[in-house]
Chains A and B, each alone.
Chain A
Amino acid sequence: MAPGSVVGEMTSVWSQIEPILGRVTKPARYIGCEDGAQSPLHSPGLAAWLLLYPDAYEIGLPNQGLQILYEILNEREDAIAERSYAPWVDMEAEMRARRIPLFSVESHTPAGEFDLLAFNLSAELVYTNVLNCIDLAGVPVRATERGPEHPLVVAGGHCTFNPEPLADFVDLFVIGDGEEPVGPISEAVAAWKAAGRTPGSRQRLLRDLASQPGVYVPSMYDVEYDGQRLVAVTPKYPNVPEKVEKRTIADLGAWPYPRRQLVPMTEVVHDRLNVEIFRGCTRGCRFCQAGMITRPVRERPAEQVRQMVSDGLARTGYDEVSLTSLSSADFSGIESVVSGIIDDPTCAGQVGVSLPSLRVDAFTVGIASEIQKVRRTGLTFAPEGGTWRMRQVINKLIREEDLYGAVESAFSQGWRRVKLYFLTGLPTETDEDTLGIAELARNCVSVGRQHGKGASVTASVGGFVPKPQTPFQWFGQDTPAELMRKVNLLRDATRKDRGVQMRWHDPKASLAEGIASRGDRRIGAVIEEVWRRGGTFQEWSEHFDLNLWTEAMASHGLSPDWYVHRHRTEDEVLPWAHISAGLHDDFLWQEWLDALAAAGTPDCRWTPCYDCGACTGYGIEHVVASPTPPAGGSQGTGQDLAAGGRRGLALAGAVPVTFGKRPEGDR
């Protein structure tokens, strides 16, 4: 490697990068320069973290989890943090040709000079990019081949609730909320660094860290198989926990981060102010990993939300704020928070508010119309299942009248396009359930046509991938062929419907995601082979290649049927059994049985606790300002669910339906 210019303790490779930026697409990905970026001084006494998002800059930059830790670490006395992202394929080729290592975007310091390479894992298909980034850093991809001169490879984020597929490559995982555990890790690593990273010290450090709450060090565990069957994952040493419990911050109000959200100088996704209004969700959708692993609900105090919004808008110059959470209309007093932002004189009526993950009901659309006075382009709902029975199975208890009420409300208030998200390949799904998607979409168009000829509905269909730590973790995923058959059913059913557009995700990608989601440690070799054969950026359809995955499975004697398409049994040891999101095993199993029986479970925020384990196990509670569910709240709160499957009379006829007055008693 050609020597770079030396700044303080560290090296900068900027002078090597600059001449190649003219040859690559979107060079602004590599310059840093964000408003809010920090330039911390490296020093021998400080644990130097490189926070990595293993996807393209424009996807990774907005990630709030990474930005929260970036600030918390840089506020600490014993740590500093910089950031890096996966270089796009053209940049990677230029870097490899010139032996330029992966670098931080702030000071362009080589990744290998940091003490920790900490990855955010938000999606499984980025796993091959993780290996690529480690390799570009000049660090051996396998943890066992690393020495004292190499940084620790760390990973956090939702995917770590099954860490096993990456267990061979990651030195330590942080399970759950990262705000608190990064403290003790920084302390231990700063001490390790100050002591000179002597031979053998890496193992001692990892062993110490393995006893930290929320930390999982895979090399401290033995894995035993009986043929294909996983028998046990057990600690090698007495102070290493048998089960690693996730970390949960009790009070979101104590963590008002990010205080200085990064404002990128080039286009990224979610390019707006983001303020997290609550963490966790107890709606209890059984397919949803985020809703299971982030319990309980912890709302941010409304006053703090207002302050973060107003400070953030003034500082960044953004004209849009997103109030983020897993179901933002559920925030206690959401209307007054929203109207407070809209009516704030300093915002001069120019600020847009967006609420991701809208609940499906007319009340929610009312809030949406309040906040989107100007640009009413599209509104998105996620009924997920095509029939009431299907939605009972997945516990997304949206009645058809709620959906039609929401759609009616949207079209009557000026929206012209509604997008509906669905899953296919759900447990117990029949063709009737699948075709219910087409019928719902068609009926929504009929509702919209009352308000304008241009009304259109986009139905976006994704192939369901069962996730660890959810009630569906035992379910055998549909094959790509079966998913494609269902997609084709829907395409045929909607072909003649003007106004209904079908969109679907590539069912082949669902298979690769399934392999990485519920795999055990043996899948690590598959991920490595896919990476070695050039399979990076598998999240991107232009780079995704299922053959790489199936061939790698075959070459290691592993069967997609066994890993992905097979129903699992209650007595089976799941690869993630030693990682706990706090949920009792019998809670998840009972939810699975209830799913098969199409029986719903209410939201425990406003109904008695059914003891899933997330609160009781950790001695924490919901932090929810309102003791009652939101007015008009759908999904099993204060509603007669027995009537959920009833179709409106006018909607039962042949399609396309054009009807005038809604029948009495339909609402």
Chain B
Amino acid sequence: MKVRVRFAKLGKIRWTSHRDVARMWERAFRREQLPLAYSEGFSPRPKVSFGLALPTGHESLAEYLDLELAAGTSQIDLEASSGRNSLAARLSAALPVGVDVLAIAPLETPSPSLQEDVSSCTWRLAAVPGDGCAAVASEEMAVRAAGLLAAPRAMVARSRKGVEVIDDVRPGIINLRVIGAVGADPAEGVWLEAELGTRPRGLRPSELLGALGPDLAEAHVRRLHQWISRDGARWEPLGLDVTTAATDAPHALERAS
């Protein structure tokens, strides 16, 4: 049986890398003695595949992994998963503070891998003044955002495997909203919410800021959603409303630090 898990990464633990998170999960699976299916061959590995990497330091309410349980393990009742003994709660307990399971559901087979399927992500972030730069007020930010959305192209220098290249990032900016000032002090920045494409190469929130001006830096970046789009429709790999109200850790939705 294949199972899809949606989890959060919040607070101090966001400073761990994508690979670190994979290792946390492997330990949690072993601690919970989850009967995972293993690959064949010389060096068997558990059949677990992670979705899009989250840049180190960014938070998320929408991380995903798919796992395959060993044949004949239907006794794991995903439906009866509310409460303290649910699989979601047990895994959350075996994972570090800040990494919490938000939803678990069986996966219809066959389905494309997460990395193939997801085409965009919604991010919330604060645009703060870059080193030595003046603060940008939210009104000014709204003007810049409108200008960017109206522009046919947006050339930004990005680093690709250590080499600086100039790319047009405009096609990757699917949506952009200016939410408002973070605090009374303009230096605290302006909240933005943006939907950014993942193909052909994922657009990072910092690259979006590059298109909004050289005087901006990112802070408090959090991935809110990943989206699968097909035939004009858009949905999440695993929504929070459709399954198992999977967390009894409401703090997971708050910043844990």
Q: Hey, which bits of chain A sit against chain B, CB under 8 A?
A: 14, 18-19, 21-22, 27-28, 30-33, 35, 263, 265-267, 314-319, 346, 350, 374-375
Contact = CB atoms under 8 A, between A and B. Distances in A.
A56 B96 CA distance: 22
A28 B20 CA distance: 9
Interface stretch (B9-17, B76-84, B111-119, B244-252): B9-17
B17 A266 contact: yes
A318 B28 CA distance: 9
Interface string B1-28: 0000000000011011101100110111
A389 to B, nearest CB: 42
Contacts of A318: 27, 30
A314 B15 contact: no
B161 to A, nearest CB: 17
A346 B32 CA distance: 12
Contacts of B39: none
A23 to B, nearest CB: 10
B78 to A, nearest CB: 21
A31 B15 contact: yes
Contacts of A19: 219
A265 B20 contact: yes
A27 B56 contact: yes
Given A28-B15, A33-B97, A265-B16, 19 more contacts: A18-B257, A19-B219, A22-B57, A27-B56, A27-B57, A31-B15, A33-B98, A35-B96, A265-B20, A265-B24, A266-B17, A266-B20, A315-B31, A317-B26, A317-B31, A317-B94, A318-B30, A319-B26, A375-B43
A341 to B, nearest CB: 15
A270 to B, nearest CB: 14
Given A28-B20, A265-B20, A266-B20, A317 B15 contact: no
Contacts of A21: 15, 57
Given A21-B57, A27-B57, A318-B27, A265 B13 contact: yes
A31 B96 CA distance: 12
11 contacts: A18-B257, A21-B57, A28-B20, A32-B12, A33-B97, A265-B24, A267-B19, A317-B26, A317-B28, A317-B29, A318-B30
A33 B57 contact: no
Q: Which size class do B's interface residues fall under?
A: 20 to 34
B57 A263 contact: no
Contact of A317 (B30, B43, B97, B219): B30
Lowest 6 CB-CB distances: which A-B pairs, in order?
A317-B27, A317-B31, A27-B15, A317-B30, A31-B12, A28-B16
B13 A33 contact: yes
B183 to A, nearest CB: 14
Contact of A28 (B17, B30, B31): B17
Interface string B38-63: 00001110000000000011000000
Given A31-B13, A33-B12, A316 B31 contact: yes
Given A27-B57, A266-B17, A374-B43, A319 B12 contact: no
A580 to B, nearest CB: 43
A319 B13 contact: no
Contacts of B97: 33
A454 to B, nearest CB: 15
Contacts of A14: 257
Contacts of B16: 28, 31, 265-266
Nearest to B44: A374
A370 to B, nearest CB: 18
A265 to B, nearest CB: 5
Contacts of B94: 317
Contacts of B219: 19
Nearest to B29: A317
Nearest to B206: A22
Contacts of A28: 15-17, 20, 56
Contacts of A316: 27, 31
B20 A267 contact: yes
B63 to A, nearest CB: 15
Nearest to A27: B15
A32 B98 CA distance: 13
B47 to A, nearest CB: 14
A35 B23 CA distance: 13
Contacts of B30: 317-319, 350
Contact of A263 (B15, B27, B257): B27
A31 B97 CA distance: 12
Contacts of A350: 30
Nearest to B31: A317
B31 to A, nearest CB: 4
A391 B22 CA distance: 46
Nearest to A348: B33
B257 A265 contact: no
B199 to A, nearest CB: 26
Nearest to B15: A27
B130 to A, nearest CB: 12
Most A-side CB within 10 Å, residue of B12, B13, B29, B56:
B12
Contact of B96 (A27, A265, A375): A265
Nearest to B21: A265
Nearest to B30: A317
Most B-side CB within 10 Å, residue of A19, A32, A35, A265:
A265
A314 B12 contact: no
Contacts of A31: 12-13, 15-16
A316 B32 CA distance: 10
Interface in B76-112: 94, 96-98
